[in-house]
Amino acid sequence: MNEAPQICTLNSAFDRSVIEQFRQLQIQLRHRWQTVDLFDTGDTDIVVIPSLTLDEQELLKIDGVHHYEERFLFSLIRLRNPRTRLIYITSQPLHPSIVDYYLQLLPGIPFSHARNRLLLFATYDSSSKSLTQKILDRPRLIERIRMALRPNKTYAICFNATHSERDLSVKLGIPLLATDPELLYFGTKSGSRQIFDECNVPHPDGSTLLFNDDDLAEAACELWRRQPHLKRLVVKLNEGFSGEGNALLELEPLQGISPHQRVKAIRDRFSQLRFQAKSETWEHFRKRIPELGAIVEAYIEGENKRSPSVQGRITPHGDVEILSTHDQILGGPDEQIFLGCRFPADASYRVQLQELGLKVGRNLAEKGALERFGVDFVVVRRENGWDVQAIEINLRKGGTTHPFMALKLLTKGYFDGATGLFYSQQGKAKYYKATDNLQKDCYHGLLPNDLMDIIAYNQLHFDT
């Protein structure tokens, strides 16, 4: 009977010890920042952990999610620096032709020289667990990775930082260039709304974080009372990903109901929510609300509506930089699911996005956040111009990170904050459209070597 409190205390002390070790490792980034940033001249080892350490059930809604570990393959282009070593870890081994494709993009570096500085590790585990957890489950693999590193010249990068990435950073004894997991709340739906309130950034009217459908119905009713013109509301799981945790509630069928009956009517209407994920049901969604929490928010209507985003980073010295803006390409039943992006965002609002992104970044920096952040918006054409509303913050790398970084690394160009454009070394503006949701039934059965044959035959390979 008396042992349980003691175990909890020991676990708590262990957690505090890990947190402190992690923070001490991150302090080292301040001294290494120039080396980290100027990767063309730095003598560094970069450990790439491309793990999506997010809620497993939410990730299962995404088609082809197991391929997301390959998003970070743009990092291989960093091997153009002859003093950089890259350690890339995946669940399953990478196909050699995929690795070869990236290495042949490196100008001025012999293929063999770059390949000798690339170390590939795999867990040989195709389960739905996050890659980071798979690594943590394999202490001998961790030891092999650790033995391959130069600890005082190494840092790790990841897709998103959770307690698992923090634990792995401590076990490897290297700093992680990412936000402390203790700040993850500010990358959730409700945490985003808090930041927007603090920064005076315009955002849709909505609720606080709720944990049952009764409270959600009460909040939806109150929101509708405040804004009686609303046609729809959007219900969002607090830790939903890529729009797959969103659902739309139609209010028009409830218009004739008296105000005192609205809460019950809305609660009954939840069973007819229009989910953005194909496989989602109300029974399953309802079970997730106590686990993840949820918010209800006004749905922004408009005939000419777009979904841009701004990306930034916070350096280890606390400086905030805007990196890019994009117009997102969305799909699904109600254009809520991320499919791809166009760079840059439209000229009529991209500078405004950058200004709002700086506000958010500075607030996050004051709270201790680090590295990448993104802010998603909805913009609607009104009579007097574009109405810009922020809808969420991503405290991690996102779907726009890898195409932009591929552009930057391939061209060695630069982003001009005054115009929101990206220029090559020759001063030529560069644009792109990117997707990681390219799907067709006829692609089934193609092997990586088949894809390389098709690329070569149709002259689709990268050409500067």
8 A C-beta contact, residue 217 and residue 433: no
pLDDT tier for residue 417 given thresholds of 50, 70 and 90: very high
Kindly tell me if the per-residue pLDDT of 2 is higher than 80.
no
8 A C-beta contact, residue 71 and residue 50: yes
For 75-190, where are the E strands, in sequence order?
85-90, 118-122, 154-158
- Whole-number Å distance between alpha carbons of 234 and 332: 14
181 vs 40, residue with greater confidence: 181
Predicted pLDDT at 404: 93
**Type of residue found at 354:** Q
Compute the average pLDDT of residues 108-120: 93
Kindly tell me if the per-residue pLDDT of 256 is higher than 90.
no
Q: What percent of the chain is modeled with pLDDT above 70?
A: 93
Per-residue pLDDT of 228-254, as tens digits, reads: 999 999 999 998 766 677 899 999 988
Predicted pLDDT at 35: 55
Compute the average pLDDT of residues 22-34: 82
Kindly tell me if the per-residue pLDDT of 12 is higher than 70.
no
Mean pLDDT, the chain, rounded, equals: 89
Kindly tell me if the per-residue pLDDT of 6 is higher than 60.
no
Which of 63-67, 250-254, 306-310, 326-330 is the least confident region? Answer: 63-67
Per-residue pLDDT of 163-175, as tens digits, reads: 999 999 999 999 9
pLDDT tier for residue 342 given thresholds of 50, 70 and 90: very high
8 A C-beta contact, residue 123 and residue 91: yes
Predicted pLDDT at 38: 53
pLDDT tier for residue 8 given thresholds of 50, 70 and 90: very low
Per-residue pLDDT of 429-447, as tens digits, reads: 999 999 988 888 999 899 9
Any bridge partners for residue 327, and if so which? 308, 342
Compute the average pLDDT of residues 332-360: 91
What's the token pair of residue 389?
């509303």
Predicted pLDDT at 243: 62
Kindly tell me if the per-residue pLDDT of 93 is higher than 50.
yes
* H or E segment and range at residue 421: strand 421-423
Compute the average pLDDT of residues 21-28: 91
Kindly tell me if the per-residue pLDDT of 385 is higher than 80.
yes
14 vs 254, residue with greater confidence: 254
- Whole-number Å distance between alpha carbons of 162 and 175: 14
Which of 35-39, 290-294, 305-309 is the least confident region? Answer: 35-39
Predicted pLDDT at 36: 53
**CB neighbours of residue 237 within 10 Å:** 24
Per-residue pLDDT of 278-300, as tens digits, reads: 788 999 999 999 999 999 999 99
- Whole-number Å distance between alpha carbons of 207 and 297: 6
